[in-house]
Structure 1
Amino acid sequence: MNEVEKYIAQFEPEIKERLIVLRQLFFDVVPGTEESIRYKMPAFTVGKEHLYFAAYKKHIGFYPVYGLTEMEEQLTPFRAKGTKDSLHFPHNKPLPVELIKEIVRLKGKKG
């Protein structure tokens, strides 16, 4: 079990399932994605960019999401209050899988 798998394994089943889905999206969208733990959270290298996620009591945080002006309308509903680069995916709502795929795809292209 690698460090990212250990991170995911510590959560309750419902959250763990969401994290597994999120993690897999990186590999589906950008084959060869490298993963590690940075800043005590899973980090994924897509191109020259790094994207991170972290689980919290009420949501999954997804970082950093800036420089995607072409998607701002889609990102706004998930934007964390007072930030320009953080998204929150509440546990009581489905993961926006297609949105996440597009973020990963675009960040991978920029890198």
Structure 2
Amino acid sequence: MAKTDYKTIDEYHNVFPEEVQERMQAIRDVVHKVAPGVEETISYQIPCFKYKGYLVYYSAYAKHISLSHPFSAELLKAFEKDLKKYKVSKSAIQFPGNEPLPLDLIKKIIEFRKKENEK
């Protein structure tokens, strides 16, 4: 994907195939459900959500979608068991494109991040 100057999350979504757009929209919907009134923005040319600071980012790639943020050690420890099957770094969790998105897990991660931002 060529570097583009995205201004909105919709602009970002629109460059991807419909199936990928649907997966990203599902994450977007979860974020809005967990944190009503969350601010949408583009940061580092990817979708970003702000709630009392940066809440979470996501981005799409050829074979996965990443949920990202400089995750705390507490978050990574709390979800260690759930994240074992995914490629995880200190700042990103990769969800394979050939598997259903674990929306319940994503919801719990966003809830955890929301609580972290409320401290």
TM-score (norm 1): 0.89
Gaps spanning 5+ residues in structure 2: where? 1-6
Change (3 A) 1:86 1:6: same
Query: Which residue does 1:9 correspond to in 2?
Result: 14
Unaligned runs of 5+ in 1: none
Task: Determine the structure 1 residue equivalent to 2:81.
Answer: 73
* Cα offsets for 1:59-104 (capped at 9, x unmatched): 0011123331222111232233xx2221001110000000000011
Number of residue pairs the alignment of both structures matches = 108
Task: Measure, in 1, the Cα distance between the counterparts of 2:66 and 2:54.
Answer: 17
CA distance in structure 2 between the partners assigned to 1:49 and 1:39 by the alignment? 12
Give the SS at the match of 2:42. Answer: strand
Alignment partner, residue 41 of structure 2: 36
Q: Distance in 1 between matches of 2:20 and 2:10?
A: 13
Which residue in 2 is equivalent to 1:100? 106
Percent identical pairs in the alignment equals 33
Whichever residue aligns with residue 47 of structure 1, its letter is K
Moved over 6 A (4+): none
**Aligned pair 1:109/2:118, yes or no?**
no
- Counterparts in 2 of 1:40 and 1:89: CA distance versus 1, 3 Å: same
TM, length-normalised to structure 2: 0.83
Matches of 1:28 and 1:57, distance apart in 2 = 27
Q: Deviations over 1:12-40 (max 9, x none)?
A: 01101101111111001111111100001
Deviates more, 1:70-79 or 1:90-99: 70-79
Aligned mates of 1:46, 1:102 — CA distance in 2? 16
Amino acid at match of 1:44: F
